[in-house]
Amino acid sequence: MQSTINLWPLIGVAVIIAGFLLRFNPMLIVAAAAVVTGFAGGFDTTRVLAAIGTGFIKTRNIPLIILLPLAVIGLLERHGLRERAQIWIGNIKAATAGRLLIVYLLVRELTAAVGLTGLGGHPQMVRPLIAPMAEGATENRFGKLSDAVRFKLRAYSAATDNVGLFFGEDIFVAFGAIVLMVTLLKEAGVSVEPIHVALWGIPTAICAFLIHGTRLWLLDRKLERELGGAQAAKAANTPRQQGDEA
């Protein structure tokens, strides 16, 4: 005899979706979804509050782990980390935004492949270092940049970190997604070793590096075509204006 499955607790998902659509405070949304899910699941008030309290106790150190590096990075930025990164990369004449990001893509994939996923990231690496260095390398070659070009370089920097992490960590045998895939396949009657799943992530990571590396190479060519042409036109107009004034 089949037991009836109670689907009412899924109403918590609807609460989260509605809350984000209405742009309420995320903490209030999550708390409301937890309470609604508990009541829909047949919990009384005491049991709901106990579950929320237990979850808070188990994860109370997570905010410290997340916020402490952000405070350190913010302090370094306040004392000129971004400016020093731009100056340093500007002293390397052969550096371009595309070449810099290709190197970072390779490093990000290799470190993620051995489980060192925390060595990169948007708040601790892209924003204070990689993006300013890409801007500095481009500014060193073409002069002052427009906001549109700066935003484009920042977007490419963030995308490079995403690609390197996403495809690099698939090679790490202890990565959670690999464990999940192995578990699901085992439940479906397919026996596979985690190391085999990780090894099959290598061709995908190589393809991702080649594809995104090509995009970064094309970025250099596009910047050269757009900014270099504008720089040449400006230089050509300057003597003409001086002649007209004379």
* Cβ atoms 19, 32 nearer than 8 A: yes
CA dist 130 and 13 (Å) reads: 37
Kindly report the number of other CB atoms within 10 A of residue 139's CB atom. Answer: 20
Contact 160, 127 (CB under 8 A): no
d(CA 54, CA 174): 27
Domain residue spans of the chain: 8-58, 66-234
* pLDDT tens series, the chain, 246 aa: 445 667 788 888 899 899 888 888 887 888 888 889 888 888 888 888 888 777 766 665 555 555 666 666 666 667 676 677 767 776 777 789 999 999 999 999 999 998 888 888 888 889 888 998 899 889 888 888 899 999 999 999 999 999 999 999 989 887 777 877 888 788 778 888 888 888 988 999 999 999 999 999 999 999 999 887 666 556 556 555 555 555
How far does the chain reach from its first CA to its final CA, in angstroms? Answer: 100
